[in-house]
């Protein structure tokens, strides 16, 4: 499967950006998603960003750092961040990297996208 066939859904539903990560991403794709999200925040009147990792069994350190930095940047732009669908090994990676302190940027951890988008 080539990179052009792999599309990560980045949707705007009402005043919420929803990003659903569903497969392993290379570094360039991760950076592209971050750029797309930040552009949407700038261009649209959104209040929330939900990044769902429910489709991932594991994440690498680069993806973990990019998720956290995207959520922090969104917070700095006045957007409430949510991380949804964390599986056990993803949680382990985030804790091992010391990234469980997302609450310092008012990022909420939720079970699913539906917990935010109603």
| DSSP bridge partners of 13 | 16
Quick: pLDDT tens for 88-106. 988 888 888 776 666 656 7
What pLDDT was estimated at residue 102? 64
Q: pLDDT confidence of 51, banded at 50, 70, 90?
A: very high
Structural domains of the chain, with CATH: 6-115 (3.30.750.24)
| pLDDT(109) > 60 | yes
| pLDDT(42) > 80 | yes
Please give the Cα distance from 108 to 89 (Å, whole number).
Answer: 19
Strand-by-strand arrangement of the 16-20 sheet: 10-13, 16-20, 48-52, 80-84, 108-110
Contact 46, 37 (CB under 8 A): no
């Amino acid at each position: 499967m080539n990179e052009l066939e792999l599309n990560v859904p980045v949707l705007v539903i009402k005043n919420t950006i929803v990003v659903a990560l569903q497969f392993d991403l290379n570094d360039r794709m991760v950076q592209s998603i971050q750029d797309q999200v930040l552009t949407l925040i700038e261009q649209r009147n959104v209040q929330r960003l939900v990044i769902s990792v429910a489709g991932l069994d594991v994440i690498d350190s680069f993806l973990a750092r990019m998720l956290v930095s995207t959520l922090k940047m969104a917070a700095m732009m006045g957007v409430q961040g949510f991380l949804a669908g964390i599986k056990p090994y993803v949680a382990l990676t985030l804790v091992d990297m010391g990234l469980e302190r997302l609450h310092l940027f008012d990022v909420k951890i939720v079970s699913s996208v539906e917990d935010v988008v109603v």
